[in-house]
């Protein structure tokens, strides 16, 4: 019997005291956000109309390697962090693999995912600036739930635009958010100009993250004392989420474990970026090497089939342009696509790293993902979120390769959350009603043809 426990818990005093900013170690920095009108890099004062001041500083700082985590945020982290690093002994046995599989489990909190790590930071800075409320969008609902919890903790108003398809598939999420005092609106809505415009152009649309972002930004910039906050994509979010990777690394170090492969699911990049940041830092500084793999849905394949270009972050084109792997800001995955990872673009940081060949990307169809989810649930006892299950699938496939080669690779993946609010998707899977629709090349090209011209 190995000495490594099933669950490696750090102590509360080992919660990181700083976030790590991977940009500081990147030779090729992520491209700056552009003002959509002038195509000039956004100035801090322009961004401050949308975001909190402190968060704008974090967003634009490509050089400071470490940011201190304020005491109030660390106190909140103590409610659910450090999160455990789990050794997947049973999954290894099930696969009969010589590989050693670990997963960092971020689902043991009421928001059900890692999103809380950044939500509490963003709520804290909003409160510190004396704001009265924040707006946001949510897709699968994890981010909205996380932000509701964070706002409730700091007594801030919280207005959530929820992608309509998720609002309908996950009515219970809404009640969790209400329990924490948030107001929740299905998007697109009639409440905003951009929402009304999208509804007029696409009646019956099931919504998209890009569209919900537009509504939330409009609401924030037209309501005094409000700002907008975002749960993924942005540099600041990856900074906050680095707490995942820092804890993972500390836990591995505690048992002298050297990771070979790091795997994370990728929607906008919040989890993947947070998990890999310190490992990528090692790699960028030449101190260690890892294979790093992003896993995305075949129905929304921004890394594997998108283009590295400047694009709008939102459907309504009210946000700045970001340089990223994108499918076009109009791209909306098929409505049959279950759960999150529906965003058309990808974090600029991760896009640059991928472009520079520092990480890989793979995509999976829904059914493959849910098959992995069910196996994992049965042997590891945790019912995974569909998003997280992308990483499970890829980790299982890497472990199965080790069966062939006999290599005892150490695989670490991010289990971002639980699937308790995704039972509609599981039900479709059980009933064989899950579609594996993948967009055609022509479809994708038609969206890419509409990318804004920036050069």
Instruction: Tell which residue, 122, 112, 73, 319, has the closest CA to residue 231.
Output: 122
Partnered with residue 86 across adjacent β-strands are 7, 103
Exposed, middle or buried, 72 (CB in 10 Å: 0-12/13-18/19+)? middle
Query: Angle 116-128/53-60 helices, nearest 10 degrees?
Result: 130
Q: Which residue carries 């529906």 as its tokens?
A: 342
Provide the minimum distance between the beta carbon of 228 and its own copies in the complex, in angstroms, as a whole number. Answer: 23
The helix/strand/coil state of 92 is helix
Beta 157-163 vs 85-87: how paired, if at all? Answer: unpaired
Provide the minimum distance between the beta carbon of 444 and its own copies in the complex, in angstroms, as a whole number. Answer: 33
Q: Of the two residues 109 and 329, which places its CB atom closer to its own copies in the complex? A: 109
Q: Of the two residues 383 and 438, which places its CB atom closer to its own copies in the complex? A: 383
Binding site for its own copies (CB under 8 A): 5-7, 9, 11-12, 76, 78-80, 90, 108-110, 112, 149, 152-153, 171-172, 175-176, 178-181, 374, 377-383, 418, 420-421, 423-424, 426-427, 430
Provide the minimum distance between the beta carbon of 11 and its own copies in the complex, in angstroms, as a whole number. Answer: 7
Q: Of the two residues 364 and 421, which places its CB atom closer to its own copies in the complex? A: 421
Q: Of the two residues 29 and 78, which places its CB atom closer to its own copies in the complex? A: 78
- Cβ neighbours for 138, distance < 8 A, ≥ 6 positions apart: 144, 145, 147, 160, 161, 162, 163, 166, 173, 212, 231
Provide the minimum distance between the beta carbon of 165 and its own copies in the complex, in angstroms, as a whole number. Answer: 17
Q: Of the two residues 334 and 379, which places its CB atom closer to its own copies in the complex? A: 379
Helices assigned H by DSSP within 16-101:
44-47, 53-60, 71-77, 89-95
Q: Of the two residues 78 and 450, which places its CB atom closer to its own copies in the complex? A: 78
Provide the minimum distance between the beta carbon of 385 and its own copies in the complex, in angstroms, as a whole number. Answer: 12
Looking at residue 12, what DSSP letter applies?
Answer: G
Q: Of the two residues 315 and 418, which places its CB atom closer to its own copies in the complex? A: 418
- Cβ neighbours for 13, distance < 8 A, ≥ 6 positions apart: none
Provide the minimum distance between the beta carbon of 86 and its own copies in the complex, in angstroms, as a whole number. Answer: 9
Identify whether the C-beta of residue 302 lies closer than 8 Å to the C-beta of residue 344. Answer: yes
Q: Of the two residues 149 and 321, which places its CB atom closer to its own copies in the complex? A: 149
Provide the minimum distance between the beta carbon of 379 and its own copies in the complex, in angstroms, as a whole number. Answer: 8
CB atoms within 10 A of CB 198: 24
Rounded Cα–Cα distance for residues 351 and 342 (Å): 16
Partnered with residue 321 across adjacent β-strands are 34, 312
Exposed, middle or buried, 269 (CB in 10 Å: 0-12/13-18/19+)? buried
Q: Of the two residues 54 and 92, which places its CB atom closer to its own copies in the complex? A: 92
Task: Establish whether the linkage from the previous residue to 99 is cis, with ω within 30° of 0.
Answer: no
Q: Of the two residues 148 and 348, which places its CB atom closer to its own copies in the complex? A: 148
CB atoms within 10 A of CB 295: 30
Provide the minimum distance between the beta carbon of 229 and its own copies in the complex, in angstroms, as a whole number. Answer: 19
Per-residue b or e along 107-124, where b marks 16 or more CB atoms closer than 10 Å to that residue's CB = bebebbbbbbbbbbbbbb
Q: Of the two residues 155 and 408, which places its CB atom closer to its own copies in the complex? A: 155
Looking at residue 23, what DSSP letter applies?
Answer: G
Provide the minimum distance between the beta carbon of 110 and its own copies in the complex, in angstroms, as a whole number. Answer: 5
Torsion of CA 273, 289, 361, 351, to 10 degrees: 50
């Amino acid at each position: 019997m190995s000495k490594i426990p099933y669950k490696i818990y750090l102590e509360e005093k080992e919660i990181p005291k700083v976030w790590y900013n991977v940009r500081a170690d990147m030779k090729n920095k992520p491209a700056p956000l552009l003002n959509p009108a002038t195509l000039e890099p956004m100035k801090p004062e322009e961004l401050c109309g949308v975001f909190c001041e402190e968060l704008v500083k974090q967003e634009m700082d490509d050089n400071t390697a470490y940011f201190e985590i304020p005491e109030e945020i660390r106190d909140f982290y103590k409610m659910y962090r450090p999160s455990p690093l789990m050794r997947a002994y049973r999954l290894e046995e099930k696969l009969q693999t010589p590989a050693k599989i670990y997963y960092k489990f971020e689902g043991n909190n009421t928001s059900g995912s890692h999103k809380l790590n950044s939500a509490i930071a963003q709520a804290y800075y909003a409160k510190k600036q004396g704001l009265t409320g924040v707006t946001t969008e949510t897709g699968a609902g994890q981010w909205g739930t996380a932000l509701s919890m964070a706002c409730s903790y700091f007594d801030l108003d919280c207005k959530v635009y929820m992608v309509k398809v998720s609002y309908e598939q996950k009515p219970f999420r809404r009640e969790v958010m209400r329990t924490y005092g948030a107001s929740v609106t299905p998007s697109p809505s009639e409440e905003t100009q951009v929402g009304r415009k999208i509804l007029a152009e696409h009646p019956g649309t099931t919504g998209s993250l890009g569209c919900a972002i537009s509504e939330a930004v409009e609401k924030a910039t037209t309501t005094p004392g409000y700002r907008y906050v975002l749960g993924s994509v942005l540099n600041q979010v990856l900074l906050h989420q680095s707490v995942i990777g820092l804890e993972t690394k500390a836990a591995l170090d505690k048992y002298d474990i050297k990771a070979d492969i790091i795997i994370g699911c990728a929607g906008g990049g919040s989890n993947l970026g947070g998990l890999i940041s310190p490992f990528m830092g090692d790699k960028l500084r030449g101190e260690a090497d890892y294979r790093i793999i992003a896993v995305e849905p075949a129905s929304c394949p921004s890394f594997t089939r998108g283009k590295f270009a400047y694009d709008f972050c939102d459907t309504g084109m009210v946000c700045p342009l970001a340089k990223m792997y994108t499918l076009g800001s109009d791209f909306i995955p098929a409505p049959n696509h279950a759960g999150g990872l529906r965003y058309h673009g990808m974090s600029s940081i991760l896009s640059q790293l991928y472009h520079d060949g520092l990480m890989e990307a793979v995509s999976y169809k829904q059914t493959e993902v849910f098959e992995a989810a069910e196996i994992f649930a049965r042997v590891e006892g945790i019912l995974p979120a569909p998003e997280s299950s992308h990483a499970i699938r890829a980790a299982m496939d890497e472990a199965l390769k080790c069966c062939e080669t006999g290599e005892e690779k150490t695989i670490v993946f991010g289990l971002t959350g639980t699937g308790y609010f995704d039972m509609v998707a599981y039900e479709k899977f059980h009933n064989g009603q899950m579609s594996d629709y993948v967009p055609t090349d022509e479809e994708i090209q038609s969206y890419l043809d509409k990318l804004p011209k920036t050069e």
